[in-house]
């Protein structure tokens, strides 16, 4: 005898029933807040392509980090906006640079908050690439590794709980792990951008961080959006080299990759709901085309459903407040 047609609907009849059988949980504890930090004493610089997100001076970054933490968001990820840039990206590993100063200030004010730092050179180089550029225009992988390791040590020395290499150079997780261990930072976590795709969804971020390449593009070191198998291989290699967490970036266009990586690795998986994904939701909501709150919650829940243990999102504080 066939099942009655209404059988599947019985557990959807009320909110309490739906809550009891919900398969995927989204809570503040799953979220991390990316933040753009700039030098200055009292500045909030709006980012036109990311309504509601600002570049923050260190004092405001301390306040925003504290507000997010009070709402239950356990971690922030810092991106530095330096005063000056050069060919070597030296501001990234300056002990008195913007990220090192921000880490110290946030950890002093909120010692229980997990402070992560982006480890890359693109925001600090005058050409906007993620490493040192050779005369032929290509990025020198091995020289870049040395500077990334210096950056990780600088951030760890300032008090960062985790460093997050986003450069996509070959071997960078192993290089960072070896240097951190050698300089007595064995407890510093590595959150590796393992499957970072050469995506069109980074546009607003590049405006925010001033990190668009001055020439060429990043397709020689970031992943081809068509490749899922390669993303899994990258994640497995990073785990072998010592990554504590692996990340897929972007998130919404790569939910299948999140699932595949989650099935293959035995470490936590993060996903980054990137600037372009944020901007699309904000633009559609501003035009009245979608219910903003419902769409944001649905988007982040889908990332969790795909397998992400940690979701990096600019919506994190607001979502945490909605979920209270």
Active site residues: 196, 249
Place of tokens 């968001």: 73
Counting Cα atoms < 13 Å in the Cβ hemisphere of 273 gives 30
Q: State the sign of the Cα–Cα–Cα–Cα dihedral 175, 205, 246, 157.
A: positive
3-state secondary structure 10-60: HHHCCHHHHHHCCCCCCCHHHEEEEEEEECCCCCEEECCCCCCCEEEEHHH
Measuring CA to CA, which residue among 202, 193, 199, 214 is closest to residue 50? 202
List all residues 6 or more positions away from 212 whose beta carbon is below 8 Å from its beta carbon.
128, 206
Distance CA 199, CA 279 (A): 14
The distance of Cα 151 from the centroid of its chain, to the nearest Å, equals 17
Counting Cα atoms < 13 Å in the Cβ hemisphere of 270 gives 30
For residue 164, the tally of other CB atoms under 10 A from its CB is 28
Compute, in degrees rounded to 10, the torsion defined by CA atoms 166, 172, 174, 177. Answer: -60
CB 269 within 8 A of CB 248: yes
CB 55 within 8 A of CB 208: yes
Distance CA 272, CA 290 (A): 22
DSSP H or E run through 88? none
Per the structure block, which two tokens stand in for 241? Answer: 């080299």
Classify 35 as helix, strand or coil: strand
8-state DSSP, 284: H
């Amino acid at each position: 005898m066939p099942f009655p047609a209404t059988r599947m609907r019985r557990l959807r009849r009320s909110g309490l029933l739906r809550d009891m059988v919900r398969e995927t949980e989204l809570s503040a504890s799953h979220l991390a807040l990316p933040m753009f930090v700039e030098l200055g004493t009292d500045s909030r610089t709006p980012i036109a392509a990311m309504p509601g997100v600002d570049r923050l001076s260190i004092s405001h970054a301390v306040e925003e980090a504290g507000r997010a933490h009070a709402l239950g968001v356990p971690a922030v990820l810092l991106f530095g906006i330096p005063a000056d840039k050069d060919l070597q990206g030296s501001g990234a590993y300056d002990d008195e640079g913007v990220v090192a100063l921000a880490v110290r200030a946030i950890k002093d004010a909120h010692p229980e908050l997990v402070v992560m730092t982006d480890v890359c050179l693109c925001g600090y180089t005058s050409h906007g690439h993620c490493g040192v550029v050779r005369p032929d225009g290509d990025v020198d992988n091995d020289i870049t590794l040395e500077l990334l390791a210096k950056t990780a040590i600088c951030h760890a020395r300032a008090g960062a709980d985790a460093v997050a290499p986003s450069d996509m150079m070959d071997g960078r997780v192993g290089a960072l792990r070896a240097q951190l261990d050698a300089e007595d930072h064995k407890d510093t976590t590595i959150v590796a951008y393992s499957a970072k795709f050469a995506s069109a969804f980074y546009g607003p971020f590049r405006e925010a961080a001033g990190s668009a390449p001055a020439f060429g593009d990043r397709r020689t070191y970031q992943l081809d959006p068509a490749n899922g198998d390669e993303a899994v291989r990258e994640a497995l290699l990073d785990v072998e080299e010592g990554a504590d967490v692996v990340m897929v970036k972007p998130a919404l266009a790569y939910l299948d990759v999140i699932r595949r990586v989650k099935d293959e690795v035995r470490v936590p998986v993060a996903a980054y709901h990137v600037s372009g994904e944020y901007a699309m939701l904000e633009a559609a909501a501003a035009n009245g085309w979608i219910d903003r709150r419902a769409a944001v919650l649905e988007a982040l829940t889908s990332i969790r459903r795909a397998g992400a243990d940690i979701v990096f999102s600019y919506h994190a504080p607001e979502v945490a407040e909605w979920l209270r």
